Amino acid sequence: MPRAIIAIPADTREMDGYVWHASPEQYVSAALNAADVIPMIVPAFGLDLSGEADIDAILNRVDGVLISGARSNVSPVHYGDDETESNGPYDPARDATSLPLIRRALDCGIPLLAICRGIQELNVVLGGTLVTEIQDRPGNLDHRRPESNNPDVRFGIRQKIAVEPGSCLTDVLGGSTVLVNSLHRQAIGNLAPGLKVEATTQDGVVEAVSVRDAAAFAVGVQWHPEYWAQTDESSKRLFEAFGDAARSYAAAKANGKPI
């Protein structure tokens, strides 16, 4: 059977007088080499949920959706707040593509893995809110990445998370306490009603969620498993679980079974 194909919605970046639709290499590499799936980058041209035709044209051809992290933040207009300079930067084209893609993937029961900005998008899509500059809140740790010119240092695995008892991630990650590379200044505020907390840090920040009553694998994580997906065991296992779900979906679709 051919390898499963997964969609990754792109970010937009302005470089050399051009607008680029792109995804960081680490996500593409983790999809190929850890999840063992073929990634397809979806341009950030915006998708219309009212018609659904464009979204379904994409989702009919893939077996999973991977929502990547990004330098930009989800615009607060999507969860009832105002945009501010300090809360940026924003990428409205990414929002207009990724948010409806997440919603429709969940409706269709297509496997979903949402990382960093992705977990925040997932929470917003299902009716939750976000908070920013969490390092300034009393009792919170500084979750931002260390200042370094070495990306291995910036993405170093250094933060302990506690996986909830009975969590769907306990077996996937290989334990109830896991070290991860979480680096962010924004996080889930009000948890969406359709989500279940799967892991937190010692200061209570939500680090992983799953979609309640999802028809397939549907998980969001705040850390960056893509960076060490080929060398760190828990990062690798997360991508392997996503890849297994995509292959199961592809097999069911190929055999004409209800998905």
Q: Comparing C-alpha atoms, which of 251, 242, 256 is closest to residue 7?
A: 242
Q: What are the angstrom distances between the C-alpha of 120 and each of 1, 57, 81, 94, 131?
A: 34, 25, 15, 13, 10
226 carries an active-site annotation: yes
Question: Which listed residue (116, 121, 168, 184) is catalytic?
Answer: 116
Amino acid at 195: L
What ranges make up the beta strands (E) of 59-109?
Answer: 64-67
Q: Give the pairing type, strands 130-132 and 186-188.
A: antiparallel
Token readout for 45 is: 């041209």
Looking at the DSSP bridge assignments, the partners of residue 42 are 9
Q: What angle do CA 194, 167, 32 make, to 5 degrees?
A: 85
Find the length of the chain: 259
78, 226, 233, 240: the active-site residue: 226
Integer Cα distance of 231 and 59 in angstroms = 30
Q: Are 192 and 205 in contact (CB under 8 A)?
A: no
C-alpha to C-alpha distance for 247 and 178, rounded to whole angstroms? 26
The terminus-to-terminus CA distance of the chain in angstroms comes to 18
The active-site residue, picked from 121, 184, 198, 224, is 224
224 is catalytic: yes
Tell me the torsion sign for CA atoms 181, 216, 254, 6. negative
Catalytic residues: 116, 224, 226
